[in-house]
Amino acid sequence: MPHVIVKLWPGKSDEQKHRLSEAIVRDVTRIFEYGEESVSVGFEEVSPSQWTARVYEPDIRSKWNTLTKQPRYEAEPNKQRRALQQQRKSKG
């Protein structure tokens, strides 16, 4: 322990995941003073169409008061993404 699970949209490379995993392990061992052998990191890719049901509702919205960092997007990330794309188009 601890075990850290990173949930994210598909598309990040194995190298990016490996770098993030190394950073997480480095910080967990430094901050919590655990040995590296005590830390595990996993990645769960969740499609944008499933994000709200599989991540936002069960892990974010229902546990909002336990989050140490809250997201700044709506419950429907695709809706937020479309809004940002529209803003960029109107500026350009």
Give the CA radius of gyration of the chain: 16
DSSP H or E segment with residue 6: strand 3-8
Asked if residue 10 has a cis previous peptide bond (ω within 30° of 0), the answer is no
Catalytic residues: 2
Three-state SS at 8: strand
SS3 44: strand
